[in-house]
Amino acid sequence: MSGDGDSRDAVLRDFLTWLEQNDPDGGWYLDEDPVEMPAPVATPEPAIPEPAASAPTAPDPTPPERAAATVAAAPEPVASAAAEVPGGLAKPRRQLPPLDLDSAFKRRAEIFVAETVGKIARQSGAGGLAADPYLVEAGGDKAAALARLKAEVLPCTACSLSGGRKNTVFGAGDPDADIFFIGEAPGRDEDLQGEPFVGRSGQLLTKIIGAIGLGREDVYIGNILKCRPPENRDPTGVEVEACEPHLMRQLAIIQPRVICCLGRIAAQTLLGVDTSLKRLRDSVHFYAGVPVMATYHPAALLRNPDYKRDTWDDVRRLRVLHDALLEQD
Ligand code: URA
Ligand code: URA
């Protein structure tokens, strides 16, 4: 195929993508009118295991060291927490539909993946995401460990947001997910329903996840904050400090292969940086050895549809990276 024909194809594909994303009968388009809320995804809740008869030792809520601070000089084999936990590697995976990628995008994505795989190897000194004590106690049963954590987090009163909530929004999805999406905080709809991303942003997120061949039930969706800030204002430092340990423990139970931060606040908070989202989108980052990508928050796409194209690139790269990481197993 000639280079010229290839770039003409790429332009045409881009245009078709734009049409598709803005197609009222599908794609990434939402009516201006309020849309009927989808039923929250029912996550099967396994029975919460009885705590051991002896006083259970409180797990250390300290977040794992920021990966960047602990890069060791000599790479060692990745200490995979899943490997230490019985049953941790037994996930049956569903065959995902292949993505239809144009060759220009595919080339760029392959470079991104090769670079990222190299960076992951160099991250091994960070020690990986240590298995959460509940995961170890549950013998690697992520659903059981997550249900136990959820039962603890729902009545949390660690910050003042608990006083104004209707519901704590713990998070939802596959306890054994390979991709963990992190948003900022619940909004009005999420507070009312106790489920993450169920309002207009959430409906768009569902479409975006669908556009890369996945369903909400295939991934895990959580937030930096579990309770709604008044008027959806930005989280305060005090709130983040109080709430972030819950997210750290969700990550330490689920052990995702890749994290995708939705929006500036989620990305900056998780990574402990104040870099702009535009710059954070440019490369892969790490949280305790786990690759972290950042893209626009779906609410930003609702306000600014021109960001959809970049988001489309980001999530396709996310899917390509996800596929490459699973292929290594
Ligand atoms: N916005 C978020 O960041 N999280 C939600 O759960 C909903 C909207
Ligand atoms: N605007 C969109 O909505 N999508 C694109 O891909 C580009 C511009």
- What's the 284 CA to ligand 2 centre distance in angstroms? 23
Contact 173, 216 (CB under 8 A): yes
Ligand nearest to the CA of 20: 2
Place of tokens 């990986």: 128
Of 141, 134, 214, 215, the closest CA to residue 175 belongs to 141
Residues with CB under 6 A from ligand 2: 17-18, 21-22, 305-306, 308-309, 312
Helix (H, G, I), strand (E, B) or coil at 243: helix
Question: Which ligand is nearest to the Cα of residue 23, counting in written order?
Answer: 2
Q: What is the mean pLDDT of the chain?
A: 83
pLDDT of residue 110: 95
pLDDT given for residue 55 in this prediction: 43
Reported as a pLDDT band with limits 50, 70 and 90, residue 20 is: confident
Q: Which residue's CA is minimally distant from atom 8 of ligand 2?
A: 306
Show the tokens assigned to 134.
């509940």
- pLDDT of residue 300 exceeding 80, the answer is yes
Cα 103 to averaged position of ligand 1 atoms, centre (Å): 34
Q: 107 pLDDT exceeds 60?
A: yes
Q: What is the band of 30 on the pLDDT scale with cuts at 50, 70, 90?
A: low
**219 vs 54, more confident:** 219
Q: Which ligand is nearest to the CA of 198?
A: 1
Going by CA atoms, what residue is nearest to atom 6 of ligand 2?
309
Distance 28 CA to ligand 2 centre (A): 9
Res 40: pLDDT: 47
User: Ligand 1: which of 201, 224, 302 to mutate, judged by most atoms within 8 Å of the beta carbon?
Assistant: 201
Which tens digits make up the pLDDT trace of 140-174?
999 999 999 999 999 999 999 999 999 999 999 99
Is the CB of residue 172 less than 8 Å from the CB of residue 196? yes
Contact residues of ligand 1, CB 6 A cut-off: 183-187, 190, 196-197, 199, 201-202, 223
Counting from 1 in the atom list of ligand 1, the atom nearest the Cα of 223 is 4
Q: Kindly state the DSSP code that residue 198 receives in the 8-state scheme.
A: -
- Out of 6-20, 38-52, 174-188, 269-283, which region has the weakest mean confidence (pLDDT)? 38-52
The best mutation among 204, 308, 315 to test binding of ligand 2, ranked by most ligand atoms within 8 Å of the C-beta, falls on 308
Give distance in angstroms: CA of 168 to centre of ligand 1: 12
Q: Which letter, b or e, does each residue of 109-136 get, where b requires 16 or more Cβ atoms within 10 Å of its Cβ?
A: beebbeebeeebeebbbbbbbbbbbbbb
Look at residue 257 in the predicted model and tell me its pLDDT: 96
- Using alpha carbons only, give the angle 321, 327, 329 rounded to the nearest 5 degrees: 115
CA atoms within 13 A on the CB side of 106: 11
- At residue 291, does pLDDT exceed 70? yes
CB 322 within 8 A of CB 257: yes
Give yes or no for residue 2 having a pLDDT over 50: no
pLDDT category, 14, cuts 50, 70, 90? confident
Question: What's the CA-to-centroid distance between 278 and ligand 2, angstroms?
Answer: 17
**Ligand 2 geometric centre to CA of 312 (Å):** 9
- The percentage of the chain sitting over the pLDDT mark of 90, rounded to a whole number, equals 64
**What confidence score (pLDDT) does residue 26 get?**
57
SS3 260: strand
Domain ranges of the chain: 2-32+78-327
Instruction: Please write the tens of the pLDDT for every residue from 194-251.
Output: 999 999 999 999 999 999 999 999 999 999 999 999 999 999 999 999 999 999 999 9
pLDDT at 126: 66
Q: Where are the alpha helices (DSSP H) in the chain?
A: 3-21, 81-84, 103-122, 133-137, 142-153, 188-193, 200-211, 237-254, 264-271, 277-280, 298-303, 308-327
- What pLDDT shows up at residue 90? 58
At the second CATH level, the architecture of 2-32+78-327 is 3-Layer(aba) Sandwich (3.40)
Which residue's alpha carbon is nearest to atom 7 within ligand 2? 309
For residues 12 and 23, give the distance between their C-alpha atoms in angstroms, rounded to a whole number: 16
d(CA 165, CA 248): 22
